[in-house]
């Protein structure tokens, strides 16, 4: 399973996503109310454990974590 699908499954299982079909690659998790500040920490912990990466506090920004596409690109950069 690829990064996006792994993260999509985590989000739909652990957060309130009333209509999973809206969870397209580029939809903003924050704009759709799918995640909040606490959820970002849960997502970060999941990413660190699932993909064996370390995420610094200054990396907790929407450019890295606010959509499936952003998360995939971020994880790929971190895994190098």
Contact 8, 68 (CB under 8 A): yes
Q: Calculate the average pLDDT of the chain.
A: 94
Whole-model pTM?
0.93
The DSSP 8-state label assigned to residue 22 in this structure reads G
Sequence length of the chain is 80
- Those residues whose C-beta lies under 8 Å from the C-beta of residue 12, and which sit 6 or more positions away, are 20, 23
Read off the pLDDT of residues 41-78 as tens digits, 9 standing for 90 and up: 999 999 999 999 999 999 999 999 999 999 999 999 99
Largest distance between two CA atoms of the chain: 34
């Amino acid at each position: 399973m690829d990064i996006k699908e792994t993260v999509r499954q985590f989000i739909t299982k652990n957060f309130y996503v009333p209509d999973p079909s809206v969870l397209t690659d580029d939809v903003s998790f924050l704009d759709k109310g799918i995640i909040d500040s606490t959820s970002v920490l849960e997502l970060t912990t999941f990413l660190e454990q699932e993909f064996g990466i370390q995420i610094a506090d200054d990396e907790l920004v929407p450019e890295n974590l606010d959509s499936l596409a952003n998360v995939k690109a971020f994880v790929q950069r971190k895994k190098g």
